[in-house]
Amino acid sequence: MPTALVTGASRGIGLVIARDLARTHHVVLHGRDEEALAAIAASLPSASVWVADLSGPEIVVPTTRTESGLDVLVHAAGVIGGVDIAGTSRDDWRRVFEVNVFAVAEITRQLLPALRAAQGTVVTINSGSGLTAGPNGGTYAASKFALRAFADSLREEERPNGVRVSSVHPGRVDTDMQHELVEKEGGVYRPELYLEPASVADAVRLVVDLPHGATVEMLSVRPTRRA
């Protein structure tokens, strides 16, 4: 059975992606809540858990299920943070970049031998904020622009090794993080204006299932309705 590792798999987009990939893969579920991850793993056909804080000083990726190759790596973990540029501290910038960029780079670095062995696929869950930036969201957008640059460079470096790299850029998604963002903005939450997490999982499935001779380099997914 092929193996997929999904970061941020205990809730939101990562959880829905992990559940979808579990139909065809053994899934390594990453998160910080061991109890929640264990319950999710027990509900899937074949799964194991990896508990780690991606903002910590050291990341050690498990190799038990990836020694013979890793078919899919999905970077779904992410955090929001910062306000306007004038009001965002250096520590806030560092916290957002630690999870959204630095952890992605380190996890990928450690897993590249396994990805090369399987000619696997790396999927970064980016954002519309990785394509355009506006006021009061510069910290998050900057991290997502950096993530897009990371994916673009990795894609070109790993072409000779048969590793595919895709950036998936969802618009706003109906998740806990979206609730936090709307509350921060002082708005009214209208779920009909947001993507369902399953739509993002479907986009990832498209990327993963595409015949290996082709790569979805960048995929932008937006809600049909707008305010």
Q: Where on the phi/psi map is residue 8: left (φ > 0), alpha (ψ -120 to 50), or beta?
A: left
Spatial distance between the Cα atoms of 28 and 103, rounded to a whole number of angstroms: 17
Spatial distance between the Cα atoms of 111 and 59, rounded to a whole number of angstroms: 12
**170 φ, ψ to 5°?**
-75, 150
Strand spans (E) along 139-194:
164-170
Burial class (CB in 10 A: 0-12, 13-18, 19+), 54: buried
**Strand order across the beta sheet in which 3-6 lies:** 47-51, 26-31, 3-6, 72-75, 121-125, 164-170, 218-221
Alpha helices per DSSP H over 100-137: 103-118
- DSSP tag of 82: -
What are residue 47's DSSP bridge partners? 27
**84 φ, ψ to 5°?**
-75, 160
- Supply the residues annotated as catalytic: 140
Spatial distance between the Cα atoms of 17 and 131, rounded to a whole number of angstroms: 22
